[in-house]
């Protein structure tokens, strides 16, 4: 079918989807073989849907469907034809962006302002971007005629459910691979909505398959012998388990794991701008960001003034209903994650750090945590070493650029960093020495589909986004 000028089929509502089935295999929603689990609204604790758990047999079916589609349809299809499907998916995502943004916010807990204005535009942008690459792979720098790998098994986290799906699926399809994707068990709804978008775009059956479940389902997918490529975004602990499972097999692997980013403010930085960057760096998406600027390193001469301004700004943040467009900080994704944030925050106080939060009345139901800043933090404290994955900021000070580098790199992670200064030469000097996959200059948490993203050390390996993101899905 020529999709270039074909009008999009009539949009269907999310309520028409059958999320209780839990599986989207070979172009159809089907019933999963395992026990159903509930996905809830973290802001109200109300049950949104019951989702089936994919069993090992279900994973077999999904992988087999992906293999058939790869061998018979998608793999042999010319790149220019694959591109038309990707362009069409991108357009449908744009058309249904309001619907998808609401679904993302009620399933994840993030403010609608973020899902509407950040997540959804980036989702569409990734499909548009990689659609442009589909017929130009020979010019990407990986040989004149690079070939796809086959079937990709992809496991994504709960903090950016639909955006992480786009990061994984768009480059895989552009390169000619087919996909079996497992969303996080607490946020499966937008992945199932995306499955419906695949049908709306008339994507050939089996090219994209969605399976739902928890860790056992993910393990069955990762270890399946029919998978040629594994892509995982999530915790470092689970990433290590996946690396061990894949070791000794011909499967290609990319891992995007945890982080403990340093956000470094020098004495010549524009402080009000830096404060906005600090707030965005740690409180965006409730701090549920692997590259969050959770360690603030401030030059001693401006530390007191910066903290005063930061506290004034934090006092204006609004915590509450994710569907209120005026909300700055929504709900913590789950009771389990809230307990982890609380435990590490209590450890910070027990180890001698000074805790401060603005006055904030939290809702009675749901999972909530007040934005928090710790001062008098030592590098030995758990809150300075461990990924909290919540709206908690640890503040340390430094005197010289060399000390800032030493403290910033004193972590097992290496995903991201931020540098705030008016000196361009200092930015370049710092970026060269920071062991981080991405370094922002006078900004934070800015993403673009043309820019590669990934980490060093225990933050994983491989890159997603940009031309570099194609390499993980090509036989080069």
Any idea which residues carry the catalytic annotation? 256, 290
CA–CA distance, 112 with 117 (Å, rounded to integer):
8
Residue labelled with tokens 């040989």: 143
CA distance to 76, 174, 408, per residue, from 79 (Å): 9, 7, 43
Q: What is the DSSP letter of 232?
A: E
Cα dihedral value 60, 65, 67, 73, nearest 10 = 180
Listed residue (120, 118, 114) closest to 98, CA to CA = 120
DSSP per-residue string spanning 52-82: PPP-HHHHHHHHHHHHHHIIIIITTS-HHHH
Which H/E stretch holds residue 395? strand 392-398
Distance CA(425)–CA(431), nearest Å, equals 10
- Sorted by sequence, the CB contacts under 8 Å of residue 462 that are 6+ apart come out as 231, 253, 254, 255, 256, 454, 472
CB 191 within 8 A of CB 162: yes
How many Å apart are CA 87 and CA 8, to the nearest integer? 11
Neighbours of 272 (CB within 10 A): 11
């Amino acid at each position: 079918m020529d999709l270039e000028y074909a009008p999009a089929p009539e949009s269907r509502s999310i309520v028409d989807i059958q999320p209780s089935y839990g599986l989207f295999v070979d172009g159809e929603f089907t019933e999963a073989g395992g026990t159903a689990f509930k996905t809830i609204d973290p802001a109200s604790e109300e049950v949104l849907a019951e989702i089936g758990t994919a069993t090992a047999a279900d994973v077999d079916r999904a992988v087999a469907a992906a293999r058939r589609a790869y061998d018979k349809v998608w793999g042999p299809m010319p790149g220019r034809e694959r591109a038309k499907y990707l362009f069409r998916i991108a357009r449908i995502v744009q058309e249904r962006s309001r619907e998808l943004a609401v679904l993302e916010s009620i399933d994840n807990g993030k403010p609608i302002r973020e899902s509407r204005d950040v997540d959804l535009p980036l989702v569409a942008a990734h499909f548009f971007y990689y659609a442009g690459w589909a017929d130009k792979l020979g010019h990407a720098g990986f040989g004149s005629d690079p070939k796809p790998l086959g079937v990709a098994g992809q496991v994504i986290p709960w903090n950016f459910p639909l955006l992480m799906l786009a990061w994984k699926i768009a480059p895989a399809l552009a390169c000619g691979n087919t996909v079996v994707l497992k969303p996080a068990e607490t946020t499966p709804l937008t992945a199932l909505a995306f499955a419906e978008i695949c049908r709306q775009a008339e994507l050939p059956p089996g090219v994209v398959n969605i399976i739902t479940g928890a860790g056992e389902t993910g393990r069955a997918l990762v270890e399946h012998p029919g998978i040629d490529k594994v892509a995982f975004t999530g915790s470092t602990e689970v990433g290590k388990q996946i690396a061990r499972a894949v070791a000794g097999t011909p499967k290609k692997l990319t891992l995007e794991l945890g982080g403990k980013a340093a956000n470094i403010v020098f004495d010549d930085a524009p402080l009000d701008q830096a404060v906005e960057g600090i707030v965005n760096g740690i409180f965006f998406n409730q701090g549920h960001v692997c590259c969050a600027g959770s360690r603030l390193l401030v030059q001693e001469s401006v530390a007191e003034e910066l903290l005063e301004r930061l506290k004034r700004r934090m006092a204006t943040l609004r915590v509450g209903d994710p569907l209120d467009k005026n909300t700055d900080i929504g709900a913590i994704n789950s009771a389990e994650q809230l307990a982890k944030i609380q435990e590490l925050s209590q450890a910070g106080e027990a180890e001698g750090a000074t805790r401060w939060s603005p006055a904030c009345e939290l809702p009675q139901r749901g999972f909530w945590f007040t934005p928090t800043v710790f001062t008098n933090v030592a590098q030995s404290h758990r809150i300075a070493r461990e990924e909290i994955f919540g709206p908690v900021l640890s503040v340390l000070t430094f005197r010289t650029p060399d000390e800032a580098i030493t403290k910033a790199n004193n972590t097992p992670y290496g995903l991201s960093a931020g540098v705030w200064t008016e000196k361009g030469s200092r930015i370049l000097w710092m970026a060269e020495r920071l062991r981080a996959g991405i370094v922002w200059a006078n900004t934070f948490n800015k993403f673009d589909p043309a820019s590669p993203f990934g980490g060093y050390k225990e933050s994983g390996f491989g890159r997603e986004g940009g031309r570099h993101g194609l390499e993980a899905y090509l036989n080069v």
